[in-house]
Chain A
Amino acid sequence: MFLVASLIVNGIILGLIYATIALGFSLVLGVSGVLNFAHGILFALGAYMYWVLKDLMGFWPAMVGAALIVGVIGIIVERVLVRRIYGEDPLFGLVITMGFAMAVEQVLHMIFGAAAKTINPPEFAQGVLFIGDMIIPYYRLFVAGFCTVILGGTWLALNNTSFGAIVRAGMYDSEMVSALGHDLPMLRTIVFTIGTMIAAISGVLASSIWSLKPGMGAAFLMPSFLVVLIGGLGSIRGTILGGLIIGLTTSLMSLVIPRFVDIMPYVIMAVVVYFWPRGLLGKQNILE
C-alpha cells in the first residue's frame, strides 16, 4: 500500500518536472511552429551552467545566473538559426535544431567529459520526510513546489496579461497577430527566450535529482514530445495533464512491467492521438 502511494507521489513529482520541461517546447511550437530539438540541450546547458556557478555563488544566484546565460544563448539561437526557417518545411526546423543540439552535446563532452556528475541538493532542502514507510526527499517536494509555481505563474500570465493574450492569439493565427500591428518576430524571440529560460531552470532543478551527463538533454526531449502530443498544444492545463499522465505511467508501470516501462507512455500517446487528434485538451492552432 505504501509502495503504491509512494509511487504515486513520485509519479506526480516527476510529472510536474516533465510538464515544466515541456512548457517551453510547447510554447515555441505553438507560437513559432518550430519543432525545437535544441530544447533538450538547452535544458542540459542550464544544468551544466549551474554546476559551474553553484560553488561560486550558492543555489539561488547560480540558478538565476544559469537561466540568464542560457537565455542569452537562446536569443542567439533564435536570431541566427531558427529565424531563417519560419514558415518553411517543418523538417528544416527539426534538422537545424537537431544539428545544433548534436554539436553542443559534443562541446559539452569535450569540456566536461563523458562521465556522469552528481550534485548534492542545496542545504535548505536536504534530508527526507517520513510518512509511515514512505520516504520522500525534501528536495523532491521543493522541486514539485517550484515547478507548480512556474506552471501556475505562466498560466496566470497567459490568461491575465495583455502580453499573454498576444501569445495566445499567436498560437491561434500568427498572421492575424502580425496584421494587427504586433511585432511578430519580436514576439517569437521573446517566447523562445522564455521557453529557453524555463528549460534552463528545469535543468537546474533536475540536476540534483538525476546526474549530469552530456546526453541528458536528448533523454528529456522525448518526454516533452509526448507531453505535447498527449496534453495538446496551446493549453497549459493540457501540458500539466500530459506531464502528470506520463509521470504517473512511468512510475506506476515500473511496478507492473518494469522492462517495458519506457514504452508505456508511447502506447498511451498512440491511443490519445487516435481518439483525440489534438491531444486531450488541445485547442485549434496554427499547425492545423
Chain B
Amino acid sequence: MQIKSITRDPYLYIFLIFALYPFYPFLGKFISLGSELLLFFIFTLSFNLCLGYTALPSFGHGALYGMGTFGAALTFLHLTPGMGIECALIIGGIAGMLGAAAVGWVIRNKKGIYFAMLTVAFSQVLFGLCWRWDEVTGGESGLTGIARSSFLGMDISGSIPYYYLCFGFFAACAIIIRVIAHSSFGMTLQSIRQNPIRATYLGYNTGFYKFLVFTLSGFFAGLAGALYCFLAGAAFADIFDWTKSGDVVIATLLGGGTASFYGPIVGSLIFLICKELISAFWEHWLLAYGLFFVLIILICPRGLMGLCDRKEQ
C-alpha cells in the first residue's frame, strides 16, 4: 500500500524529472533557467497556501519575495561578508516572514477585494522605499557583486552545485508545505476557504488563522527570494514591481492552484517557459504577456489541473 501510494504520487515524478535536469541533452545548457524554475515553484507553492487553501487573494507576494532577496543580499554584503550563505538565506526567509506578519496583522480580518487592494498598496510602499532609499538598497542600480561562496562547507559557486542546492530546498519546501496543507492546521484553512462564517461559529479564530498562513507563506516566499539573489548575483528594485506578484498569481491560476496541490508547479512551468521564449524573440512581448493574462481568465479560470481533476467539485 505504501509503495503504491508513493509511485502514484505526482511529486515523485516532478522530483525525478528535475533531479536529472542538468543532464538533459538540450535543456541542460540552460541550467540557470532550471534553478529559476525551482525557485519559482517554491514561490508559487507558498502563494498557493494563501490562494488555494485559504482563499486569501494576495496580490503582494512579489514584495515578500523581494524582501527575501534584499534581506539576504544585505546580510551577505554587510553582516557576513566572505562567509557561507546559510545565514543570509535564513535572514531572507525571516525578512519575508516579518514583512508578511506586519501586513498580515493589519489586514487579517479584511475580506476578498479589500484584502487584494491592501496587499497591492503595501507592496507599492516597498517598491517606493527601495527606489528612494539608495544608500541601503542601491536605488536604481541595485545591489551587485553578490558572489555565492559556500553552503555548509560545500562549494556552490558553480552552476550545477547551485542547481542542486535549489533542488534540495525545493524538495524540502514542497514536502513541508504539503505536510502543512494536509495537517489539521491545513484542514482548518480549507474550512475557512469553504465557509468562513461556519468556521467562525465552530470556534476558529479565522482572522488569526489567516494571519498565520500569510506569515508562513511569507517565510517560504522570502526563502525563494533569498535563493534567487544568489542565483542572479544581484538584487534590483524592479523585483518589487507588481508584475512579479502578477506572475505568481497567473502561474497559480493557470495551473489550477484552487483545485489541486501540484497545479501551481505545472502552471509555473508552462508560464515561465512561454515567458522566456516570447521575451527572447519579440521586443513588445509585454503585449503578448498581457493578452495571455486575459486569455487565461477567459478560457480556463479554474486552471489546467482544474480541467482534469474534478474531485473537489
Residues of A within 8 A of B (CB): 29, 33, 35, 81, 84-85, 88-92, 94-96, 98-107, 109-110, 222, 225-226, 228-229, 259-260, 262-263, 266-267, 269-270, 273-274, 277, 287-288
Query: CA separation between A89 and B59, bound complex, in Å?
Result: 12
Chain B residues proximal to chain A, CB less than 8 Å: 51, 55, 57, 59, 106-107, 109-118, 120-122, 124-125, 128-129, 132-133, 242, 246, 249-250, 253, 258, 284, 286-287, 289-294, 296-298, 301
Which residues of B are found within 8 Å of A270, using beta-carbon distances? Answer: 106, 122
Residue of B nearest to A274 (CB): B106
In the bound complex, how far is the Cα of B287 from the Cα of A89, in angstroms? 24
Chain B, interface SS category: helix
Report whether B107 and A106 are in contact in the complex, using a CB–CB cutoff of 8 Å. no
Give the 5 A-B CB pairs with smallest separation, nearest first. A99-B293, A102-B290, A103-B290, A106-B287, A99-B294
Q: Say yes or no: A260 contacts B132, CB within 8 Å.
A: yes
User: Which residues of the partner chain A approach B51 to less than 8 Å between Cβ atoms?
Assistant: 91
Q: A94-B59, A99-B297 are in contact. Are A225 and B246 (CB under 8 A)?
A: no
For A100, the chain B residues whose CB sits under 8 A away are: 290, 293-294
Contacts of B253 on A, CB cut-off 8 Å? Answer: 91-92, 95
Closest to B110 in A: A277
Identify which of B115, B246, B284 contacts A109 (C-beta below 8 A): B284
Name the residue on A nearest B285 (C-beta). A106
Whether the pair B117, A106 counts as a contact (CB closer than 8 A) is no
CB of A81 within 8 A of CB of B132, answer no
> Is the CB–CB distance between B113 and A95 below 8 Å?
no
- Do A95 and B121 touch across chains, with their CB atoms under 8 A apart? no
B117 touches A92 (CB 8 A): no
- Note all chain A residues with C-beta closer than 8 A to B301: 85, 88, 92
What's the least CB distance linking A22 to chain B, in Å?
12
A28 to B32, CA, bound (A): 43
CB <8 Å contact, B117 and A229: yes
Q: Is the CB of B107 within 8 A of A263?
A: no
Q: A100-B290, A101-B290 are in contact. Are A229 and B118 (CB under 8 A)?
A: yes
Nearest-neighbor residue (CB-CB) of B295 within chain A: A99
Residues in B with CB closer than 8 Å to A88 are: 301
List, in ascending order, chain B residues with CB within 8 A of A106's CB.
284, 286-287, 290
When chains A and B are docked, how far (Å) is the Cα of A43 from the Cα of B59?
Answer: 23
Q: Contacts A90-B57, A262-B128; is A287 near B113 (CB within 8 Å)?
A: yes
Which residues of A lie under 8 Å from residue B111 when comparing CB positions? 287-288
Do A81 and B298 touch (CB < 8 A)?
A: yes
| Given A102-B290, A105-B286, 12 other A-B residues pairs in contact with their CB atoms under 8 A | A81-B298, A84-B298, A90-B116, A91-B249, A94-B57, A98-B290, A103-B289, A106-B284, A110-B287, A273-B107, A287-B112, A287-B113
| Minimum CB distance partner of A103 in chain B | B290
A269 CB contacts on chain B under 8 angstroms = 121
- In the assembled complex, 15 residue pairs joining A and B whose CB atoms fall closer than 8 Å, in A order, are A84-B298, A94-B59, A99-B289, A102-B286, A102-B293, A103-B286, A103-B289, A105-B286, A106-B287, A225-B121, A229-B121, A263-B129, A263-B132, A266-B128, A288-B111
Within the assembled complex, what's the spacing in Å between the Cα atoms of A206 and B293?
A: 29
Residue from B106, B112, B113 whose CB has the most chain A CB atoms within 10 Å: B113
Contact, CB under 8 Å: A287 / B114? yes
Which one of A35, A96, A267, A288 lies within 8 Å of B293 (CB-CB)? A96
**Contact residues in A for B258 (Cβ distance below 8 Å):** 89
Most buried by B among A101, A102, A222: A102
On whether A99 and B290 interact (CB within 8 A), knowing A85-B297, A260-B132, the answer reads: yes
CB distance from B205 to the nearest CB of A (A): 17
List chain A residues, Cβ under 8 A from B116: 35, 90-91, 94
